Structure 1
Amino acid sequence: MVTGAGRGLGRQIATMLVERGHHVLVTDVDDAAAQQAASELGERATALTLDVRDDAAVRAARDQIIAIAGRLDVWVNNAGVLFTGPAWEHDAQQRRLMLEVNAIGTMNGTLAAIESMRASGGGQIINIASLAGLTAVPGEGVYAASKHAVMGFSLSTMADLRAATVKDVHISCICPDGIWTPMLHDRLDDPGAALSFSGRLLQPHEVVTAVGKVLDEPRLVTALPGWRGAVVRFGDLFPALGLALTPFVVRQGERTQRRMRKQQQGRRRLGRR
């Protein structure tokens, strides 16, 4: 089961799971995207329109993949929404959408999966979080809050499982830096997204590889790249220092945005010749 699998990272994760022999329920709020992705993945993929905010719909999706495949082995909570800029520039609907999709949607999926996996002998839940779930991110405050919620919920629920002597259900968080997916494709002119461009942009296949490694050997938290994870954790230990250094990191992201804009413009000019 993969949420937000109609395009981008979710679609590539679904592809990897099909290649590993799983039957995958390709879910997305965009029905056309889900249908196209499942069609291209072949007979081991089934499309389903799903709004992860709807707990009943999420549980029905779980029941559907179990009916198809016989059991649920892997659940990937990937669906996400991003609006950039200071929180006071967002309207209430935008704030609520980010929190409900990114945080509540992940909670809905995780709990639906746990219910089935506890009854069937185990499984793995992969929650796609973000480095924004490990530190402050100016320009993405509400998004960062939603990803902090994902981290807090995932780690706390994992502890609850172990306290309940459940040893065969694993929850893992993948915390990538900025990924060059449709979520960022239209953000090159967006100053609020500068921090997402402050490091080397990850390609989706790098995150897919990390997901595969976690499936082979479960671990609680995987930061991508690892050195950036160490940096943001250090900044979180010393928040005043992190706040003071943030403008320098933002400027690096702005430089990357300018460079990528120029590259795009150059490719467009070549395409017109």
Structure 2
Amino acid sequence: MAVRSEREQVVLVTGAANGIGAAIAELAVARGHRVMLTDVDEVAVVSRAGSLGSRAAACVLDIRSPEGWTRAFEAAEADFGRVDVLVNNAGITHTGVTRDLRSRHHRDIVEVNLLGTITGVCAALERMTAQGHGHIINICSMTSFLPLPGYATYCASKYGLRAFHHSVAIEERDGPLDFTIIHPPSTRTGMLEQEMADPSCAIAFAEKSYAPQRIAQAVVDAIATKPVEVVFPPLAGRVQRIAGVFPRLMRRVLPLAEARGLRRRERLLPHPATDR
């Protein structure tokens, strides 16, 4: 089988209307890829694709829907002939500590972040194996290593996604597909703005946040280099990955990080002018 150059890849990106997904799509097009942008927000994703020119197209996709995945792959194949790379980026959160969230909030997080991604991977496995090549890139989170207060179900969905990803990669080790998982830290997207409004998510502000373009660079680089796993920041992320396996240490350290996040969040909040 001939090896395709980086410039010939067809990439399907989920959650591509805004944030990290939009940045991935923009950079992928800039590097010469053709991109099928998908998102649950049809108006926004069509507009985003339109701004990227003829190498981009759009399709509405609720990643929880198997039928939606079939339509998305068919749309990409109709426009571009195939899908070489799937970037599973779509995800959600509901802010609040566990006891304050409603059961539907917990279900939403798991159904989108975990089950929706699983549905997409299963759709890709069948089609990519049949065509004899493919690369599945799952955008996970540094929370897949760390049990963070204010993010219990979100962390659980990401812990589960990492386990699923690596299990599938091992199952498919003799097949024609490549697998990469990427773990962004706190990223300056609409989700971070949502977290800013809720002090229970203050730990998100304990460390430096990244621009979505920085995460997009790692994702688009991975199309060519095919790393097994990428953490952010490169050094501190490795330390966090190791520290996360020690729950007693986490119970001591993370409340300190949460307190630091509360202080930083307070400084970032807009404050009304004081009357003189």
TM > 0.5:
yes
1:113-192, aligned counterparts within 5 Å? 113-162=124-173, 165-166=174-175, 168-192=176-200
Q: Is the 8 A contact 1:189 1:257 kept in 2?
A: no
Corresponding residue for 1:231?
A: 239
Q: Alignment length, in residue pairs?
A: 262
2:265 to 257, 261, 268: 257
C-alpha separation in 1, matches of 2:136 and 2:99: 34
Corresponding residue for 2:63?
A: 52
C-alpha separation in 2, matches of 1:82 and 1:142: 9
Measured against aligned partners, the alpha-carbon deviations of 1:166-211 in whole angstroms (never above 9, x if no partner) come to 1x31111110110011111232241221121111001111101111
- How much has 1:159 moved relative to structure 2? 0.3
Corresponding residue for 2:9?
A: none
- The amino acid of 1:120's aligned partner reads Q
C-alpha separation in 1, matches of 2:204 and 2:117: 21
Q: Is the 8 A contact 1:2 1:26 kept in 2?
A: yes
Corresponding residue for 2:203?
A: 195
Matched, 1:83 2:94: yes
Corresponding residue for 2:227?
A: 219
> Partner of 1:88: helix, strand, or coil?
helix
- How much has 1:231 moved relative to structure 2? 2.8
C-alpha separation in 1, matches of 2:87 and 2:257: 31
- The amino acid of 2:179's aligned partner reads I
Q: Is the 8 A contact 2:95 2:195 kept in 1?
A: no
* TM value normalised by structure 1: 0.91
Q: Specify every segment of 5 or more residues in structure 1 that has no aligned partner in the other structure, as ranges.
A: none
User: RMSD across aligned C-alpha pairs, in angstroms?
Assistant: 1.5
> Partner of 2:27: helix, strand, or coil?
helix
Q: Is the 8 A contact 2:145 2:240 kept in 1?
A: yes
Identity of aligned residues (%): 35
> Partner of 1:41: helix, strand, or coil?
coil
Per residue, is there more helix in 1 or in 2? Answer: 1
C-alpha separation in 1, matches of 2:55 and 2:271: 40
Displaced runs of 4 or more, over 4 A:
none
- How much has 1:226 moved relative to structure 2? 1.8
C-alpha separation in 1, matches of 2:155 and 2:203: 12
* TM value normalised by structure 2: 0.90
1:17 to 4, 8, 28: 28
> Partner of 1:4: helix, strand, or coil?
coil
Q: Is the 8 A contact 1:25 1:65 kept in 2?
A: yes
C-alpha separation in 1, matches of 2:71 and 2:236: 38
- The amino acid of 1:21's aligned partner reads G
- How much has 1:213 moved relative to structure 2? 2.2
- How much has 1:21 moved relative to structure 2? 2.4
C-alpha separation in 2, matches of 1:236 and 1:185: 26
Q: Specify every segment of 5 or more residues in structure 2 that has no aligned partner in the other structure, as ranges.
A: 1-11
Q: Is the 8 A contact 1:180 1:201 kept in 2?
A: yes
Matched, 1:105 2:129: no
Q: Is the 8 A contact 2:34 2:56 kept in 1?
A: yes
Corresponding residue for 1:248?
A: 256
- How much has 1:265 moved relative to structure 2? 4.5
- The amino acid of 2:30's aligned partner reads E
C-alpha separation in 2, matches of 1:189 and 1:231: 29
